Amino acid sequence: SGTLFLIPTPIGNLDDLTFRALKILKQVDLLLCEDTRHTQILLDHYEIQVPKLSFHEHNSHRRIPEVVEKLKSGLNLGLVSDAGMPVISDPGVDLVQYLRKREIPVVALPGANAALTALVGSGMIALPYVFLGFLPRTIKEIKEVLNKTPQMTTLFYESPYRIVKTLEIISQIDENWELCIARELTKIHEEYFEGRAFEALEHFKQFPPKGEFVVILTPRIIEIVAPSEEKWQEEITLAIEAG
C-alpha cells in the first residue's frame, strides 16, 4: 500500500518549509488539507500542483475509510494542517492511530511548530516542560490543569480573544507567576513579552492583543536538591585535610 506523509507547514513565514517537505508535497498523489483554500496559498508560493481533499475536525471520521481505500490502492498521501505540525492541536491523530494499527505506512516529517519555537526563543528553562495545547474552557478546569505540574515549565496555545481572561485566571493563582508570551512567531510583528502575570495582564489590557500566542509559564516550585550523604562526607574530609 501507499504511505501517508505527515507534512509540517510554516507557522507564518513561508520560507519555513523544509526541502524534504517541499519534495514530498510535489510527489504525493493527493493532499489532505485542514482547509484547502488556506493551503493553496503555500502551494501557489512554491508552484506546486497537487489534488487536494479537505480533512478537518468535522469530517475526518467520515473521511478515514475513503483515505484508507486510497492508500490500499497504492496512492501516496500527504496530510497538512493550516500551520505547523499536523496533529499538534490540529486534526489527524485518529487517522494516524487507525493506520498504525493496520500497519499501513505513516511517515512524520519534522518541521515548524509554534510551541517549540516559542520555548527555544524565550530563554525559559526548557526541561522538563509540559505542553497543554489549548486550555480547557471553564475557569475551574483551567485552574486544575495549571496546578497539576507547578514544577515544570508549562506551554499552551492561546487566541487573542481569550488571552486577557486567561491572564486573569493565572493572576488569581499567583500574580507573581513569571511568564513569557510569544506573539506572531516568524512574522513581521514577532515579539516576546516577559514579566509577571499581573504585568502581562496590565499590558494586554492596555494594548488589546492581535495575532497568535504561545504562553510559557515558568516553574513555580523549584525543587532544592540536598547534597547527598557521600557529598557531605567528601566535603568534611576536604575541610579536615585543609586544616
Query: Closest distance between ligand SAM and the C-beta of residue 121, in Å?
Result: 10
Query: Closest distance between ligand SAM and the C-beta of residue 110, in Å?
Result: 11
Q: Quote the crossing angle between the two packed helices 139-148 and 163-173, to the nearest 10°.
A: 60
Look at the block and give the residue holding cell 499567583: 174
Size of the site for ligand SAM (CB under 6 A): 23
Question: Does 12 participate in binding ligand SAM (rule CB under 6 A)?
Answer: yes
Residue list 184-223, contact with ligand SAM (CB under 6 A): 184-187, 212-214
Question: Does 5 participate in binding ligand SAM (rule CB under 6 A)?
Answer: no
Query: Closest distance between ligand SAM and the C-beta of residue 192, in Å?
Result: 10
Nearer CB in complex with ligand SAM: 73/159 = 159
CB closest to ligand SAM, residue no? 84
Evaluate whether 196 touches 176 at the Cβ level (below 8 Å): yes
Q: What is the 3-state secondary structure (H, E, C) of 32-75?
A: EECCHHHHHHHHHHCCCCCCEEECCCCCHHHHHHHHHHHHHCCC
Question: Does 3 participate in binding ligand SAM (rule CB under 6 A)?
Answer: no
8-43 core/surface letters (b: 16 or more CB in 10 A; e: else): bbbbbeeebbeeebeebbeebebbbbbebeebeebb
Q: Which long-range contacts (CB under 8 A, 24 or more apart) does 221-229 make?
A: 221/150, 221/151, 222/151, 223/151
Number of residues in the chain: 243
Q: How far apart, in whole angstroms, are the C-alpha atoms of residue 82 and residue 204? A: 26
Nearer CB in complex with ligand SAM: 76/81 = 81
Question: Does 159 participate in binding ligand SAM (rule CB under 6 A)?
Answer: yes
Query: Closest distance between ligand SAM and the C-beta of residue 39, in Å?
Result: 13
The amino acid present at 128, given as its one-letter code, is: P
Q: How far apart, in whole angstroms, are the C-alpha atoms of residue 162 and residue 24? A: 36
Question: Does 39 participate in binding ligand SAM (rule CB under 6 A)?
Answer: no
Query: Closest distance between ligand SAM and the C-beta of residue 225, in Å?
Result: 33
Nearer CB in complex with ligand SAM: 70/142 = 142
Site string for ligand SAM, 66-95 (x = CB under 6 A): ---------------x-xxx--xxx-----
CA 228 to the chain's CA centroid = 38
Applying CB under 6 A, which residues contact ligand SAM?
A: 11-12, 81, 83-85, 88-90, 113-115, 157-159, 182, 184-187, 212-214
